[in-house]
């Protein structure tokens, strides 16, 4: 069985990968086109650029309001799969996510529910097969980074502006029958890690390298369809579906919650 430290590191990377580019918000508002609605509508049919990429994707995610994700991650000699439903909102208290992920090195699953600034984690036998309630600040203190800022589109836009070192537009490709355009973003690893609330230790540097690469496949509505992230000796693939579907994420019942 993998050590708890290794599992924690693995799930931290998974959470960062999953939350970092989804449109869950804090106090941020959808960005608006600087030169009026007419130009914004015209721009929505054009190719994304390094200057407009994150803003337009954030706007599109806010407009959709929800999505489902399938994440497949290979790292540290372990494989993991996770599914999640995400509710996106301008209001922090309305942001929500329900995620189920396999626990690497075990036969167990971890379930995580986030509603506003509260998180509930079911880690199998570690939490008596019930949910431990934690605030996002407590998750930060547990070494999972500042998930609130990681899931904030405005913070992500600032982060990309700081960390982006290269931006390339690729070919079109159909994913699940949907036409997408491939964009490759290169980001400075140190900026991504430290701005995300993590420490850039020699171990992290060795694992991730100096540059993080995101291959993003975006549809004509400016919505991500797939993200591929080579990381260390493996990669993470996130596939999005059901953009705009009516979703409801609820907190566990009181008798399902235990002290962590």
The neighbour count for residue 260, using CB atoms within 10 Å, is 13
What's the rounded Cα separation, in Å, for the pair 56 and 91?
19
In this predicted structure, the answer to whether residue 175 has a pLDDT above a threshold of 90 is yes
Structural domain that includes position 234:
4-244
Domain with residue 117: its CATH number is 2.50.20.20
The total number of structural domains that make up the chain: 1
pLDDT digits (tens, 9 = 90+) for 93-149: 788 889 898 866 667 788 989 888 888 989 888 888 999 998 766 666 555 544 544
pLDDT digits (tens, 9 = 90+) for 156-173: 556 777 888 999 999 999
In this predicted structure, the answer to whether residue 57 has a pLDDT above a threshold of 50 is yes
Q: Which of 165-174, 192-201, 246-255 has the lowest mean pLDDT?
A: 192-201
Q: What pLDDT does 31 receive? A: 44
Query: Is 250 part of any domain?
Result: no
Rg over alpha carbons for the chain, rounded to the nearest Å, is 18
In this predicted structure, the answer to whether residue 153 has a pLDDT above a threshold of 80 is no
Query: Is 257 part of any domain?
Result: no
In this predicted structure, the answer to whether residue 33 has a pLDDT above a threshold of 60 is no
Query: Is 154 part of any domain?
Result: yes
Query: Is 35 part of any domain?
Result: yes
pLDDT digits (tens, 9 = 90+) for 208-228: 788 888 899 999 999 999 989
Q: What's the whole-number average pLDDT of the chain?
A: 76
Query: Is 187 part of any domain?
Result: yes
What's the rounded Cα separation, in Å, for the pair 54 and 241?
19
Pick from 28, 40, 30: nearest CA to 92: 28
In this predicted structure, the answer to whether residue 3 has a pLDDT above a threshold of 60 is no
With helix as H, strand as E and coil as C, how does 116-182 read?
CCEEEEECHHHHCCCEEEEEHHHHHHHHHCCHHHHCCHHHHHHHHHHHEEEEEEEEEEEECCEEEEE
In this predicted structure, the answer to whether residue 189 has a pLDDT above a threshold of 70 is yes
Query: Is 220 part of any domain?
Result: yes
Query: Is 253 part of any domain?
Result: no
**Inter-residue contact 22 to 151 (CB < 8 Å):** yes
Query: Is 75 part of any domain?
Result: yes
């Amino acid at each position: 069985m993998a050590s708890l430290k290794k599992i924690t590191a693995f799930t931290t990377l998974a959470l960062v990968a999953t939350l970092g580019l989804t449109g869950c918000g804090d106090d941020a508002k959808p960005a608006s086109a600087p030169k009026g609605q007419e130009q914004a509508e015209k721009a929505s049919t054009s190719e994304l650029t390094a200057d407009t990429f994150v803003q337009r994707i954030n706007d599109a995610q806010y407009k959709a309001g929800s999505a489902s994700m399938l994440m497949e991650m290979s790292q540290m000699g372990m494989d993991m799969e996770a599914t999640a439903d995400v509710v996106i909102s301008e209001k922090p208290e309305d942001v929500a996510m329900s995620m189920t992920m396999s626990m690497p090195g075990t036969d167990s699953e971890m379930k995580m529910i986030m509603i506003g600034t509260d998180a509930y984690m079911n880690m199998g036998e570690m939490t008596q097969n019930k949910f431990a309630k934690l605030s996002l600040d407590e998750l930060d203190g547990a070494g999972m980074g500042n998930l609130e800022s990681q899931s904030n589109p405005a913070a992500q836009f600032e982060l990309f502006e700081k960390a982006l070192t290269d931006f390339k537009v690729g070919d079109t490709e159909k994913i699940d029958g949907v036409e997408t355009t491939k964009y490759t973003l290169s980001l400075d690893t140190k900026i991504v890690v430290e701005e995300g609330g993590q420490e850039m230790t020699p171990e992290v540097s060795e694992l991730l390298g100096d540059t993080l690469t995101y291959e993003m496949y975006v549809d004509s509505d400016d919505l991500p369809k797939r993200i591929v992230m080579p990381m260390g000796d493996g990669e993470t693939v996130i596939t999005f579906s059901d953009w705009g579907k009516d979703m409801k994420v609820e907190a566990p019942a009181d008798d399902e919650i235990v002290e962590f």
